[in-house]
């Protein structure tokens, strides 16, 4: 029985599964983590590559039982855990490649958690709702700025609903996150808080949220709204606000 609450839509088309794995360019000696392996369709395809280790992170006990039956490979470690909260440092690996046909109801939370562990994750490949992918890439939200501060996001391909069982109500998209060489911000929780605050009540002018003098110092018009800021503005605002706090 597939469970709606766990966003279970299994990918069945072998051509698509192959494509997803091809995109992820897995090399020998790489450690891969698959999020939400389900019954193991993508897992089997991943195991055709020369990867060194494959960790499977699955929340549903029933799926875990199926995985244990379906997947017999020494390189695999099955972990029952919630990927929205998983501590990737616990795997004791320096570099992880993340991949997954994500449960769409919690895809944003999984992406957020990926960024939290960016130190270990140079690249991630995720299947998400097409709309979620487009919003992350094109729109300004606290999450899109948060992700794009640390990762470049590329849209790899769209996947129609008919390739899944049961078919979701939406079109899907496969995206790639590539970590940027950006080390200026180290306290990610604090940065997240700052962005959430800045994006709350989006229509309000910035001067109602941030000291006007500070805005003028950075040559940002106090009458602007958060969506009118550019990427550099977010970074300079954060760094200024942090400075003030430390004094
Ligand atoms: N990768 C499989 C299944 C994708 S469906 C395939 O392509 O066929 C999404 C999977 O994520 C399901 O197996 C579901 O049980 C699992 N899942 C849902 N919420 C999760 C969470 N918070 N953490 C880890 N896995 C989760």
Q: List for the chain the helix, strand, coil content (%; round to 5).
A: 45, 20, 35
Q: At what angle do helices 142-150 and 130-138 cross, to 10 degrees?
A: 70
Token digits for 32? Answer: 């891969």
183, pLDDT greater than 60: yes
pTM above 0.85, yes or no: yes
Sorting pLDDT into bands at 50, 70 and 90, what band is 1? confident
Distance 5 CA to ligand 1 centre (A): 10
The pLDDT value recorded for residue 200 is 93
Of 7, 55, 84, 112, best ligand 1 pocket probe by most atoms within 8 Å of the beta carbon: 7
Q: What percentage of the chain carries pLDDT values higher than 90?
A: 96
Per-residue confidence (pLDDT) for residue 247, from 0 to 100 = 55
Closest CA to 179 of 133, 102, 120: 120
Structure tokens that stand for 10 in this block: 């299994």
Residue 76 φ/ψ, nearest 5 degrees: -95, 135
* Shortest-distance Cα residue to atom 17 of ligand 1: 36
What is the spatial distance between Cα 76 and Cα 202, in angstroms, rounded to a whole number?
45
Question: For the chain, where do the domains classified as CATH 1.10.8.100 start and end?
Answer: 188-246
4-179 folds as: Rossmann fold (3.40.50)
Task: Examine the pLDDT at 246 and tell me if it is beyond 70.
Answer: no
CATH 3.40.50.150 residue ranges of the chain are 4-179
Across the range 137-143, mean pLDDT stands at: 96
CATH 1.10.8.100 fits 188-246, yes or no: yes
- DSSP letter at 19 equals H
pLDDT at 243: 84
Q: What number of CA atoms fall less than 13 Å from residue 220's CA on the CB side?
A: 27
196 has a pLDDT exceeding 80: yes
What percent of the chain is predicted at pLDDT more than 70? Answer: 99
pLDDT tens digits, 15-34: 999 999 999 999 999 999 99
Task: Tell me the average pLDDT across 175-196.
Answer: 96
Give the pocket of ligand 1 (CB within 6 Å).
6-11, 35-38, 41-42, 57-60, 63, 82-84, 101, 103, 106
Atom of ligand 1 nearest to the CA of 105: 19
- Residue range 45-54, pLDDT digits in tens: 999 999 999 9
Ligand 1 geometric centre to CA of 67 (Å): 12
pLDDT at 108: 98
To test ligand 1's pocket by mutation, which of 2, 11, 57, 59 has the most ligand atoms within 8 angstroms of CB? 59
For residue 245, what pLDDT band results from cuts at 50, 70 and 90?
confident
**How many whole angstroms separate alpha carbon 98 and alpha carbon 42?**
13
What pLDDT was estimated at residue 207?
95
Query: Could you identify the atom of ligand 1 that is nearest to the CA of residue 60?
Result: 15
Q: How many helices (H) and strands (E) does the chain have?
A: 9, 9
| C-alpha 102 to ligand 1 mean position (Å) | 6
Mean pLDDT within 118-140: 97
Mean pLDDT of 78-105: 97
Q: How far apart are CA 186 and CA 192, in angstroms?
A: 11
């Amino acid at each position: 029985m597939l469970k709606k609450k766990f966003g279970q839509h299994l990918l069945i088309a072998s051509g698509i599964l192959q494509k997803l794995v091809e995109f992820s360019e897995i090399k020998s000696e790489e450690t891969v983590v698959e999020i939400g392996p389900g019954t193991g369709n993508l897992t089997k395809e991943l195991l055709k590559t020369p990867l060194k280790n494959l960790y499977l992170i699955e929340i549903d006990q029933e799926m875990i039982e199926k995985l244990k039956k379906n997947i017999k490979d020494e390189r695999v470690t099955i972990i029952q855990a919630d990927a929205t909260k998983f501590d990737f440092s616990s795997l004791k690996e320096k570099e992880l490649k993340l991949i997954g046909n994500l449960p769409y109801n919690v895809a944003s939370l999984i992406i957020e958690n990926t960024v939290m562990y960016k130190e270990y994750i140079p690249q991630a490949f995720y299947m998400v709702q097409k709309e979620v992918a487009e919003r992350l890439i094109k729109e300004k939200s606290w999450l899109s700025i948060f992700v794009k501060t640390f990762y470049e996001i590329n849209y790899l391909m769209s996947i129609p609903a008919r390739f899944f069982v049961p078919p979701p109500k939406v079109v899907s998209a496969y995206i790639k996150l590539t970590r940027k060489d950006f080390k200026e911000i180290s306290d990610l929780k604090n940065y997240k808080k700052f962005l959430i605050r800045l994006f709350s009540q989006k229509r309000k002018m910035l001067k109602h949220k941030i000291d006007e003098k500070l805005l003028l110092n950075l040559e940002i018009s106090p009458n602007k709204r958060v969506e009118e800021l550019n990427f550099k503005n977010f970074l300079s605002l954060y760094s200024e606000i942090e400075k003030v706090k430390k004094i």
